[in-house]
Amino acid sequence: MKLVIDEKEYQIKPLTIDDYLFFTKKENQDIKDLELLLRFTDAPKSELVKLPFHKINFVASVIRSDFGGDDDYGNLDLVITHKGKKYGLIKPSEISYEEWVNLEVFMGQQPLNIRLLATHLYKPLKSDKVGDDRELIDYDLNECESRVYDFGGIPMGQFTSALFFLITFAQKLTESLAGSMANKLKMKEQMNELKKQQKKKFYNQ
């Protein structure tokens, strides 16, 4: 989305993790429309104050509509570029035991440390391969923690899409394990019943 002032175009920046955290603080929830535009565009204040009130109000309302983004998932990006460096979305099939345990702990924390979660969802690439063939560096908690504040600049839409992807995988894994356990219990019950019938048949001979 762009804001046009006197035929000059100003890009409206996407809501980042840092922006989201800033606006979820109680003291920042009543931010004025003009201040909002100053934060999300590179338009100078001297230009913004010349705009009609209704235009300022409209653009601010569009920006605010991104704040509630519980169901606003962007496209799931397998590879993202942040500050000139490429990062790849984690591959569930390659998650290490340590990584999975840490993710479970972080997902259970209140409030969520979404910057730290973001560093786990996207890890540096170790080769030029992208897409499904992307190769990620081995998991290292210290490496993830070293990127925490830098990853505050990641668009919130990218984070929520990646988090939804992880949660969906975890749910399917849980259902699969539950189904597997149920099948094993059912088979065990059937085996026990078969043994009972065999014993009964044996003693009745």
> pLDDT for 45-63, tens place per residue?
988 888 889 888 888 888 8
Question: Rounded to an integer, what distance in angstroms lies between the CA atom of residue 160 and that of residue 66?
Answer: 12
Q: Residue 127 to residues 29, 50, 76, 120, 133: CA-CA distances in angstroms?
A: 42, 49, 20, 18, 10
* pLDDT the model gives residue 197: 55
pTM here? 0.74
User: What is the reported pLDDT for 80?
Assistant: 95
Q: Tens digit of pLDDT for each residue in 22-50?
A: 888 888 778 888 888 888 888 889 888 88
**CB-based contacts of 77: which residues, under 8 Å, 6+ apart?**
89, 158, 161, 162
The residue-averaged pLDDT of 154-182 equals 75
- pLDDT bin (cut points 50, 70, 90) of residue 189 is low
Q: Is the pLDDT of residue 68 over 60?
A: no
115-130: average pLDDT: 94
Q: Is the pLDDT at 141 greater than 90, yes or no?
A: yes
Output the pLDDT for position 14. Answer: 86
Residue with tokens 């204040």: 45
Read off the pLDDT of each residue in 172-196 and give the average, rounded to a whole number.
Answer: 54
Q: Which two tokens stand for residue 99?
A: 């990584």
